[in-house]
Amino acid sequence: MHYIQRYLDKLQISKMNNIPISNGYNKTNIFLYCNYYSFYSQKVLMALYEKNIEFEPLVIDITKGEQYSPWFLEINPRGEIPVLKVNNSIIPDSTRILDYLELYLDQETTPLVEVSQDNKVLSNINKFRDLIEALPAGLITVGSFFHPHLGGTPKLPFILPVREVLKTGDLSSSKNLRKLAEENPKARDVLLYKAEIQDRKHEILTSEEEYLKVLNIVNEVLSHVEEQLKQQNEDNWLCCEKFTIADISLAVLLQRLWELGLENRFWAEGKRPYIENYFHRVKQRESFKKTIPNLPVHIKMIITSQPREYVAAAGLVSVGVVLALAYVFKKLIR
């Protein structure tokens, strides 16, 4: 049994029975299985910091495929992070976790959705949250490794050695998922389904024409974001004067695109000045600084990570890639 699970089993944790969680709860009642480099983990981490919720992060080493360990598959059979554990309740999937934090914590926590009485503002928050969340972050990430000429200079953590490891991992991830499915009967169906999705995703990743379609969707979404920011006052955020769940999605997306070296393609050098200014502002926010790994963390990760059977690339890509792309298309043409 992994040390994290042994640690949790020792805690005296009572059942929650859907009682709203008080912000005064001891932080050992709230755990987040995550990885600081996981795009979806970063969204939840930033929300937790924005809401000033005490929690304990339990880091899953995706460079060694720990999300597919038998002990973790017992927690989440999909083998995906993040997962929130509150008392005996398990909440997987970043979108569900963000909704859970908003709906079930007591009202003293900072709201990220119900921030206004204006229905237009609330509608825009949900609209942009949905648009940005539907973008396939994992596909965008790994696809840039196969087509580096479509971007600029990548930054840490996606420097050349890491990119090559991730690229190699993507090529073998389908095979590894099928092997894991045979070794974990309880999660067999889910893992085999993910292997099939990985095969379909790989067809998109390795085709420059298909990957360009994905980048064009990102470009369309960011055009909508730029227009929305133009309508805001100078000190406002994406939808209003308050920082919302839509801002969390946008902040983490822009950070990932910047790390991949895609900022010149999408907003830098005056291409989209409102987004450029927004990104500069959001990087000064404390929740952002706490969420995004800094240089010492990057160096430690690169030195200590010795991938054995790297299957993390599969975890970088949502199972719903095709559905997500279809969703974005529908939103853009409305």
pLDDT tens digit sequence for 171-201: 788 888 899 889 888 888 988 998 898 888 8
CA nearest to 170, candidates 197, 133, 193: 197
Cis amide prior to 185 (ω within 30 degrees): no
**With a cut of 70, which residues of the chain have pLDDT below it?**
1-28, 105-107, 302-334
What does the pLDDT read at residue 33?
98
Q: Is 43 exposed, middle or buried (0-12, 13-18, 19+ CB in 10 A)?
A: buried
pLDDT tens, 54-74? Answer: 999 999 988 788 998 989 999
* 105 CB neighbour count, 10 Å cutoff: 20
What does the pLDDT read at residue 20?
39
Three-state SS for 243-307 is CCHHHHHHHHHHHHHHHCCCHHHHCCCCCCHHHHHHHHHHCCCHHHHHHCCCHHHHHHHHHHCCC
What does the pLDDT read at residue 169?
75
3-state helix, strand, coil split of the chain in percent (to 5) is 60, 5, 35
CB contact at 8 A, 278 and 238: yes
What does the pLDDT read at residue 106?
62
DSSP 166-206: HHHHHHHHHHHHHHHHHH-GGGHHHHHHHHHHHHHHHHHHT
| CA gap 190, 10 in Å, rounded | 30
Token pair recorded at residue 122: 């609330």
Percent of residues, the chain, with pLDDT higher than 90? 58
What does the pLDDT read at residue 330?
53
What does the pLDDT read at residue 80?
94
What does the pLDDT read at residue 107?
59
* 303 CB neighbour count, 10 Å cutoff: 8
| CA gap 210, 204 in Å, rounded | 5
